[in-house]
Amino acid sequence: MVDVLIKNGFLLTMKGEGVGAIEDGAVAIEGNRIVAVGKTQDVERQFPSAGQTFDARGKAVLPGFVDAHIHTGMTILRGQGQDVPEIEWMLKTQGPFGRYTTSEHRLKASTLGVLEALKSGTTCFGEIGAGSEVVEKVYVPSGVRAKIGSTINEISPGSQRSAYELYEFDSAAGERRLAQSLDMVNKWHGAAGGRITCLLAPQAADMVSKELLLRVKEIAKEKDLLVHIHIAQGGREEIQMKLRYGKSAPRFLDEIGFLDSSVIGAHCHQTTDEEVALLAQRKIRYVSCPSSISIIDGITPPLQVYLAAGGWAAGLGSDQASGNNSHNMMTELKIAALLNKTRHRDPTVLPAWKVLRIATIEGARCIGLDREIGSLEEGKKADLMMLNLKVPHLTPVISTPVRNVAPNIVYSARGDEVETVIVDGKVLMENRRVLTMDEESVIEEAQRAAEEVTSKAAEDYYKADSLLAKTMKKGLL
Amino acid sequence: MVDVLIKNGFLLTMKGEGVGAIEDGAVAIEGNRIVAVGKTQDVERQFPSAGQTFDARGKAVLPGFVDAHIHTGMTILRGQGQDVPEIEWMLKTQGPFGRYTTSEHRLKASTLGVLEALKSGTTCFGEIGAGSEVVEKVYVPSGVRAKIGSTINEISPGSQRSAYELYEFDSAAGERRLAQSLDMVNKWHGAAGGRITCLLAPQAADMVSKELLLRVKEIAKEKDLLVHIHIAQGGREEIQMKLRYGKSAPRFLDEIGFLDSSVIGAHCHQTTDEEVALLAQRKIRYVSCPSSISIIDGITPPLQVYLAAGGWAAGLGSDQASGNNSHNMMTELKIAALLNKTRHRDPTVLPAWKVLRIATIEGARCIGLDREIGSLEEGKKADLMMLNLKVPHLTPVISTPVRNVAPNIVYSARGDEVETVIVDGKVLMENRRVLTMDEESVIEEAQRAAEEVTSKAAEDYYKADSLLAKTMKKGLL
């Protein structure tokens, strides 16, 4: 007798080199672990009865998505920053909200972001920027898996006046944030039965002094933690790095000995191909956020460049909703493939099977969780989704000549086909109803929080006069 | 008393230069026409009662999408051709199915394609390649609007052996197809109360002789019809054009006097910016199919190039499901914006308000229907959708500083939010249930048709040995 048996499904296990398809497959779960994966008749023979049985006929069963780089705390700002020059995004469309946003607002935003992502198949969150309260009140009760870092930087609120003026570092602020980060690690690393783990997250090379960067690195090594950092995230950072050090972030980080396999580098898009190859050589893990970076910077982040240079651990991230504007890994699959194909003018770049691996098993490797999750294999934690294939846009389901389920998920699914989600052996969503959150009140509370912040910030926002503010003034939106 | 009143909605009318937003707005419909658009209280004062009333509180109301270039007859091949070199796509991943596909199969495919597109908000179809039977059995009964052309070419089945060998023209086949096209025009142009209109559709400059191209053009002029043609659709066509005429398709078509405002040119991606500017100068209408062309060719089609060169009538198309792999204009919005931003390394390219216009009013202009549809205005045909904004991924709805509904639809909606669709004043979908088609049997029949075609073609497909066939042989899918 197992706790959960899923049978008769089309399995994409991610075992082996490709998607590891098993037609008419089953997954048996005991506690929070997968105890068998195989053909339905074989698994049923081994485990003839189960506490809960799911008939997955007409459904695909695959590992939950790993959103390897996500800031859920900005979800209530969805739609307040896009279609502006890159140099304006952070300072003119995000900055104005900063001083009016409380930790309560961020809590509502994170709740909304987690709900949204979960509903399109994300089971594991590479959350950057959340504090202890968000872990306690969002990540633990929602039941999802997360690898979390609270942001460490040395920037005082309001001190970033212009991209062209060197940000002053406030070392007391840096110390405070480092201490908060370590508190969080002490309190939450390994919590909720191992569902919550932590890392250290210095924001970026232009926002943390060299000394603090190296200290963070050292502490991470002592504590056996990964370090998650934004690298080369656009022209604004590049200007700051050139002003301060006369060199790019990848070169600077390499020179100070920061780069190795304990580092997760996000974005890395304001780079030459040589710089990306350097990062790959130094064995950093890489999170690419195609939607976010193309919206904010007009650049396809160099996922294929990293892979072609031998990068060993790539993941995808949705970044933030004020920019992406969504936390939907299902649509991110297609966008990742299309943007990389066109960056290289090569339709064979990032084929469907590879993209699906990057969103699951390779994304898990990227954030250091591949021994636990990312594939459907005996012994792994039970994080998976069941997805309805009997919808017009995923029809037909064909096995030969081309087994088309994986390509059709990558290029045609959009998130709402995900019916049931299990994380750590627990059913978090069943038939699209999330069991751990009250969807209606999450939406309502996020709406109220957003109204509070945006109404207070409106005057500052218009004063900052971004292209988006101008678009509003012209009445085009 | 009007027939239909939609009230309390967030209207995106597309009237004026931008999205023409009206908060707390209403639309009144009498017969197949819109008779009033405005604030709810004003419209209700004018029309206090209605046969059917929709409360659109928490919903956006916008014109239905115009999918300006779509081949629904290939929908059952979804997932059988992607991630291959461009030169392989048509000949090695589509060709093998040709001889096994009957008109009955294409009928099932078209039904599926129309259902799929309708469910994500498409109300008007720029269908290319359908014959009379598809019009009669799919387009008329489904209730959608369509501008249809049956394909004219001079290629015999099986005569395209290689991209590098000049296709032989079969003028008898050309005559036969021209006659079929004219039959279709005679029978269907203006049918179903004007819901169905026709045009002439010579396939491409490499598949129709110069003489026949000019004859088609002349007939179109006589009959006051538009001409819809693929232009510069990839390296395969370019090779053929160079072999036959020593020049590219745009140059050739210009030299023979083919290009003017009666021409709808699809794709145009195997081009220099100068060639695109030439097309814009000649006043052709342009349909861009970003998903399809980036998957098939690894190229972002030059939508922004066309617009920047003064192009006056641009639309978006989903092309075909063996390539895209979906008919979803809602996801196409984001993809169009992102691909064009990255092509130009400029995040201000194709802002949300512009993309939404291209998918509606400008797409309508592109296929010559903008006097009838594409915006919510008094006197226009009633083609519209209601879309649920009370979902996590479209929360919050904010009016100030940025009215974020349009950007969030473009960058975060994915199709399933569309609840109700009205075409020509008739409710075709209500609460996601399509009233004119039996969804379950459409899926089943398409599945059966696909199984027939793919099983018969499998041997030929493997023999053609595309990269996708190789991927299957390696067990990666």
> With contacts defined as CB-CB under 8 Å, which chain A residues touch B300?
342
Q: What is the DSSP letter of B190?
A: T
Taking only the tens place, the pLDDT of each residue in B28-81 is 999 999 999 999 999 999 999 999 999 999 999 999 999 999 999 999 999 999
The interface residues of chain A toward chain B in range 200-229, judged by CB-CB distance below 8 A, are none
**How high is the pLDDT of residue B52?**
98
Report the pLDDT averaged over residues A261-279.
Answer: 98
Taking only the tens place, the pLDDT of each residue in A234-257 is 988 999 999 999 999 999 999 999
Report the pLDDT averaged over residues B189-209.
Answer: 97
Residue A473 near chain B (CB below 8 Å): no
What is the chain B residue with the closest CA to A86? B347
Contact across the interface for A447 and B76, Cβ inside 8 Å: no
Q: CA dist A373 to A17, A357, A408, B233, Å?
A: 16, 12, 23, 43
- Chain A: closest CA distance from residue B353 (Å): 6
Contact across the interface for A469 and B402, Cβ inside 8 Å: yes
Structural domains of chain B, ranges and CATH numbers in brackets: 2-62+379-434 (2.30.40.10), 65-366 (3.20.20.140)
Q: CA dist A429 to A406, B34, B70, Å?
A: 22, 41, 36
Please name every residue paired with A52 in a beta bridge, in sequence order, or none if there are none: A4
Rounded CA-CA distance B100/B432 in Å is: 34
Residue type, A147: K
The interface residues of chain A toward chain B in range 280-319, judged by CB-CB distance below 8 A, are 290-291, 294-300
The interface residues of chain A toward chain B in range 33-92, judged by CB-CB distance below 8 A, are 76, 78-86, 89
Question: A441: how many CB neighbours lie within 10 A of its CB?
Answer: 10
Is residue A157 pLDDT above 90, yes or no? no
Whether the Cβ atoms of residue A35 and residue A378 lie closer than 8 Å to each other: yes
Is residue B158 pLDDT above 80, yes or no? no
Of A19, A402, A477, the CB nearest to B79: A402
Contact across the interface for A115 and B462, Cβ inside 8 Å: no
> With contacts defined as CB-CB under 8 Å, which chain A residues touch B403?
472, 477
Considering only the C-alpha atoms of chain A, give the largest distance between any 2 of them, rounded to a whole number of Å.
Answer: 68
Q: CA dist B49 to B28, B40, B384, B425, Å?
A: 10, 13, 20, 16
**How high is the pLDDT of residue A318?**
98
User: In sequence order, what are the residues at sequence separation of 6 or more whose Cβ sits closer than 8 angstroms to the Cβ of residue B1?
Assistant: B47, B49, B50, B51
Helices (H), B130-170: 132-134, 140-142
Whether the Cβ atoms of residue B182 and residue B219 lie closer than 8 Å to each other: yes
Mean pLDDT, rounded, of chain B: 97
Whether the Cβ atoms of residue A324 and residue A291 lie closer than 8 Å to each other: yes
Residue type, A319: D
pLDDT-derived band of residue A37, with 50, 70 and 90 as boundaries?
very high
What is the chain B residue with the closest CA to A476? B18
Residue B192 near chain A (CB below 8 Å): no
In a mutational test of the A interface, the residue from B11, B15, B75, B83 whose CB has the highest number of chain A CBs within 10 Å is B83
What torsion, rounded to 10 degrees, do the Cα atoms B217, B154, B315, B139 define? 100
**How high is the pLDDT of residue B139?**
98
> For strand A59-63 and strand A384-388, is the pairing parallel, antiparallel, or unpaired?
antiparallel
Please name every residue paired with B430 in a beta bridge, in sequence order, or none if there are none: B433
CA angle B272, B276, B277 (to 5 degrees): 110
Collapsing DSSP to helix, strand or coil, B247 comes out as coil
Whether the Cβ atoms of residue B293 and residue B33 lie closer than 8 Å to each other: no
Taking only the tens place, the pLDDT of each residue in A446-472 is 999 999 999 999 999 999 999 999 999
- Chain B: closest CA distance from residue A472 (Å): 6
What percentage of chain B reaches a pLDDT higher than 70? 100
Rounded CA-CA distance A376/A360 in Å is: 10
Residue B132 near chain A (CB below 8 Å): no
Interface predicted TM-score of the whole assembly (ipTM), two decimals: 0.97
Collapsing DSSP to helix, strand or coil, A10 comes out as strand
> With contacts defined as CB-CB under 8 Å, which chain A residues touch B443?
390-392, 395
Of B324, B447, B477, the CB nearest to A21: B477
Of A295, A352, A397, the CB nearest to B347: A295
Contact across the interface for B79 and A300, Cβ inside 8 Å: no
In a mutational test of the A interface, the residue from B395, B434, B441, B445 whose CB has the highest number of chain A CBs within 10 Å is B395
In a mutational test of the B interface, the residue from A341, A421, A429 whose CB has the highest number of chain B CBs within 10 Å is A341
- Chain A: closest CA distance from residue B99 (Å): 15
Flag the least confident range among A316-330, B118-132, B157-171.
Answer: B157-171
Contact across the interface for B458 and A341, Cβ inside 8 Å: no
What percentage of chain A reaches a pLDDT higher than 70? 100
Whether the Cβ atoms of residue A50 and residue A394 lie closer than 8 Å to each other: no
Is residue B199 pLDDT above 90, yes or no? yes
Rounded CA-CA distance B67/B126 in Å is: 6
Report the pLDDT averaged over residues B205-228.
Answer: 98
Of A85, A391, A398, the CB nearest to B454: A398
In a mutational test of the B interface, the residue from A343, A353, A412 whose CB has the highest number of chain B CBs within 10 Å is A412
> With contacts defined as CB-CB under 8 Å, which chain B residues touch A326?
393, 411-412
> With contacts defined as CB-CB under 8 Å, which chain B residues touch A13?
none
Report the pLDDT averaged over residues A363-372.
Answer: 98
Considering only the C-alpha atoms of chain B, give the largest distance between any 2 of them, rounded to a whole number of Å.
Answer: 68
> With contacts defined as CB-CB under 8 Å, which chain A residues touch B358?
none
- Number of Cβ pairs closer than 8 Å across A and B? 316
pLDDT-derived band of residue B285, with 50, 70 and 90 as boundaries?
very high
Report the pLDDT averaged over residues B91-115.
Answer: 96
Rounded CA-CA distance A22/A13 in Å is: 7
Rounded CA-CA distance B458/B455 in Å is: 5
Rounded CA-CA distance A235/B474 in Å is: 42
- Chain A: closest CA distance from residue B383 (Å): 21
Q: CA dist B377 to A177, A336, A349, B12, B118, Å?
A: 55, 38, 44, 11, 22
**How high is the pLDDT of residue A163?**
80
**How high is the pLDDT of residue A164?**
85
- Provide the terminal-to-terminal Cα distance of chain B, rounded to the nearest Å: 58
Collapsing DSSP to helix, strand or coil, B171 comes out as helix
User: What are the contacts of B457-461 at 24+ separation with CB within 8 A?
Assistant: B457/A401, B457/B96, B457/B97, B457/B99, B457/B100, B458/A400, B458/A401, B460/B96, B460/B99, B461/A401, B461/A402, B461/B80, B461/B93, B461/B96, B461/B97
**How high is the pLDDT of residue A360?**
98
Element at B421 (helix H, strand E): strand B418-423
Whether the Cβ atoms of residue A152 and residue A208 lie closer than 8 Å to each other: yes
Collapsing DSSP to helix, strand or coil, B370 comes out as coil
Whether the Cβ atoms of residue A298 and residue A86 lie closer than 8 Å to each other: yes
Rounded CA-CA distance B74/A404 in Å is: 15
What is the chain A residue with the closest CA to B450? A396
φ, ψ for residue A59, nearest 5 deg: -125, 150
Whether the Cβ atoms of residue B390 and residue B58 lie closer than 8 Å to each other: yes
Q: What's the token pair of residue A401? A: 């000549």
The interface residues of chain B toward chain A in range 254-283, judged by CB-CB distance below 8 A, are none
**How high is the pLDDT of residue A443?**
98
Taking only the tens place, the pLDDT of each residue in A54-97 is 999 999 999 999 999 999 999 999 999 999 999 999 999 999 99
Q: CA dist A219 to A170, A178, A199, A263, A368, Å?
A: 20, 10, 10, 13, 17
Taking only the tens place, the pLDDT of each residue in A385-436 is 999 999 999 999 999 999 999 999 999 999 999 999 999 999 999 999 999 9
Question: B274: how many CB neighbours lie within 10 A of its CB?
Answer: 12
In a mutational test of the A interface, the residue from B341, B357, B358 whose CB has the highest number of chain A CBs within 10 Å is B341
Q: What's the token pair of residue B128? A: 């290319």
Is residue B373 pLDDT above 90, yes or no? yes
* Chain center to CA of B424: 18
Contact across the interface for A443 and B390, Cβ inside 8 Å: yes
**How high is the pLDDT of residue B13?**
98
> With contacts defined as CB-CB under 8 Å, which chain A residues touch B298?
341-342, 344-349
Q: Is the dihedral of CA B205, B208, B211, B216 positive or negative?
A: negative
pLDDT-derived band of residue B376, with 50, 70 and 90 as boundaries?
very high
Question: A389: how many CB neighbours lie within 10 A of its CB?
Answer: 22
Is residue B163 pLDDT above 90, yes or no? no
Contact across the interface for B16 and A475, Cβ inside 8 Å: yes
Rounded CA-CA distance A321/A44 in Å is: 43
Of B18, B298, B449, the CB nearest to A344: B298
What is the chain A residue with the closest CA to B417? A416
Rounded CA-CA distance B395/B398 in Å is: 9
Question: A1: how many CB neighbours lie within 10 A of its CB?
Answer: 9
pLDDT-derived band of residue A275, with 50, 70 and 90 as boundaries?
very high
Taking only the tens place, the pLDDT of each residue in A325-353 is 999 999 999 999 999 999 999 999 999 99
The interface residues of chain A toward chain B in range 402-431, judged by CB-CB distance below 8 A, are 402-408, 411-412, 414-416
Of B348, B443, B477, the CB nearest to A390: B443
Element at B388 (helix H, strand E): strand B384-388
Taking only the tens place, the pLDDT of each residue in A162-177 is 888 888 899 999 999 9
What is the chain B residue with the closest CA to A270? B345
